[in-house]
């Protein structure tokens, strides 16, 4: 199962994003394909915060636009949500301790822990910070 990181979701949604066409195609392929893909809850939360932020985008998405986008992804029969369930804390604890994660990188550790806890085979992300978590396979679908 493939999981999607915030930056892929943002690029797929924002037409003014540098990699919009590739991201939109990649996400659409998953949403319309035959295999289950994963959306970690923290990435959906962060997506809404990023695309509606006026300091990030000169013309940010409205809350309604962001919510409509999330609803569309969640409406895909192939979409599954990754949330904290029993056993998650042990995975997160291990990642935080082994990679000595602090500060804002705790968010990345949380996403990595959710993916590992739920058996995700690959996280699609343009963020290199996930290299701190070697047990998680990460691929950037925006570059070849």
Residue ranges of the domains in the chain?
2-82+120-139
Sheet arrangement for strand 138-139: 79-82, 37-40, 2-4, 122-124, 138-139
| Tokens standing for residue 29 | 């392929």
Query: What distances in angstroms separate CA 78 from CA 38, 66, 74, one per listed residue?
Result: 8, 20, 9
How many other CB atoms sit within 10 Å of the CB of residue 12?
26
pLDDT one digit per residue (tens) for the chain, 144 residues = 999 999 999 999 999 999 999 999 999 999 998 899 999 999 999 999 999 999 999 999 999 999 999 999 999 999 999 999 999 999 999 999 999 999 999 999 999 999 999 999 999 999 988 999 999 999 999 986
> What's the CATH number of domain 2-82+120-139, 1.20.1270, 3.40.390, 3.40.50, 2.60.40?
3.40.50
**pLDDT value for 106:** 96
How many other CB atoms sit within 10 Å of the CB of residue 19?
19
**pLDDT value for 144:** 66
| Contact between 30 and 2 (Cβ < 8 Å) | yes
> What is the pTM (predicted TM-score) of this model?
0.94
**pLDDT value for 72:** 95
| Contact between 51 and 17 (Cβ < 8 Å) | no
CA 69 to chain centre: 14
**pLDDT value for 143:** 87
Phi, psi of 143 (to 5 degrees): -125, 150
């Amino acid at each position: 199962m493939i999981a999607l990181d915030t930056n892929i979701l943002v690029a797929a949604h924002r037409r003014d994003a540098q990699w919009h066409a590739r991201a939109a195609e990649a996400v659409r392929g998953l949403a319309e394909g035959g295999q289950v893909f994963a959306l970690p809850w923290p990435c959906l939360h962060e997506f809404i915060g990023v695309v509606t932020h006026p300091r990030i985008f000169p013309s940010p998405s409205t809350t309604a636009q962001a919510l409509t986008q999330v609803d569309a992804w969640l409406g895909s029969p192939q979409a599954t949500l990754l949330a904290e369930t029993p056993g998650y804390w042990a995975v997160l604890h291990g990642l935080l301790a082994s990679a000595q994660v602090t500060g804002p990188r705790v968010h990345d550790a949380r996403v990595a822990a959710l993916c590992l806890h739920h058996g995700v085979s690959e996280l699609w992300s343009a963020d290199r910070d996930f290299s701190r978590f070697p047990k998680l396979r990460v691929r950037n679908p925006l570059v070849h």
